[in-house]
Amino acid sequence: MAPRVSIRISLRWLPDTASEPTDTLVFGVGAYYLDLRVLKSNNSIDWALAGERQVISTDPMKVRFNKTLDSLNMTEPDEGDFTKLPNGDDFETGKMPCPERGMQVTEYEEVWRQILPVPGPRRAWILESAGEGRKVFLGRIGGGYIAMGDKKGETFGARREEWDKVRKSWELKYKIGDVEDVPSVADLGAEGFEGEADWNMGDTVIVLGRGYLVRAFELLE
């Protein structure tokens, strides 16, 4: 599957009505994903997670989301069933713990829309920190960047940045929580981290002095 940038249009916890209280952005590259959901009301993290996306079946489409990082410390995989709506959006249904209901397992419906990447270099990647220390995931698709880190379940932080081709600089969209050692690209040029154009899936690379595993790397069309 080609790299995907998706936004969420709505969430419905049955039997309530659908709404969208967050600004949600998801990167999918290869078998890995980063999912950052920021509450519109106060710019706090509603939910942030990263890990591996596993297709269980294609007809019907069922996907399992294995989580290596989860800001709510929910480590069990989630599974969703997907169908296409007439306008091309993806309609997801399933069951998962609902924070607003004391983590009671609840049926949900979500509507997702694929969007074009922010213009930038024609590459996409997801990295996972290697070795000891804080677990960090970094992701880039074109001129979009998401980074998140979990410190042993104690603190969590996330960044979202976008390349502004007019100003020729990175624009900070969100900087939330403990991001002391969650790398930013805001001080770099459009090309991003040193040597990233030459990365390959499976490599161990150095980003700002720390080792990362290249979990996924693809070129955009």
At residue 136's C-alpha, the angle toward residues 133 and 138, to 5°, is 150
Quote the pLDDT of residue 116: 97
Check pLDDT > 80 for residue 212.
yes
Model confidence band, residue 133 (pLDDT cutoffs 50, 70, 90): confident
- 1-20 average pLDDT score: 96
For residue 45, CA distances in Å to 92, 177, 218 come to 22, 8, 28
Q: Cβ of 183: how many Cβ atoms within 10 Å?
A: 21
List pLDDT tens digits, range 154-208.
899 999 999 999 999 999 999 999 999 999 998 888 889 999 999 999 999 999 9
Q: What are the structural domains of the chain?
A: 4-115 (2.40.128.320), 123-219 (2.40.128.310)
Tokens of 124: 């996409």
- What per-residue confidence (pLDDT) applies to 184? 96
Q: Omega into 119 within 30° of 0, i.e. cis?
A: no
For residue 92 the two structure tokens come to 């997801």
Two tokens, residue 82? 């997907």
pLDDT given at position 151: 87
Q: Which pLDDT does position 37 carry in this prediction?
A: 98
d(CA 185, CA 167) in angstroms, rounded, equals 15
| Residue 90 and residue 109 in contact, taking contact as beta carbons nearer than 8 Å | no
**Amino acid type, 119:** P
pLDDT in tens, 50-95: 999 999 999 889 999 999 999 999 889 999 999 999 999 999 999 9
**171 C-beta neighbours (distance < 10 Å), count:** 13
- Please report, for the chain, how many H helices and E strands are present, in that order: 0, 15
What sign results for the dihedral spanned by CA atoms 210, 178, 149, 115?
Answer: negative
Condensed to tens digits (0 to 9), the pLDDT of residues 91-107 reads: 999 999 998 899 999 99
* CB distance 158 to 49 below 8 Å: no
pTM of this structure: 0.96
Q: Is the pLDDT at 153 greater than 80, yes or no?
A: no
Confidence (pLDDT) at 35: 98
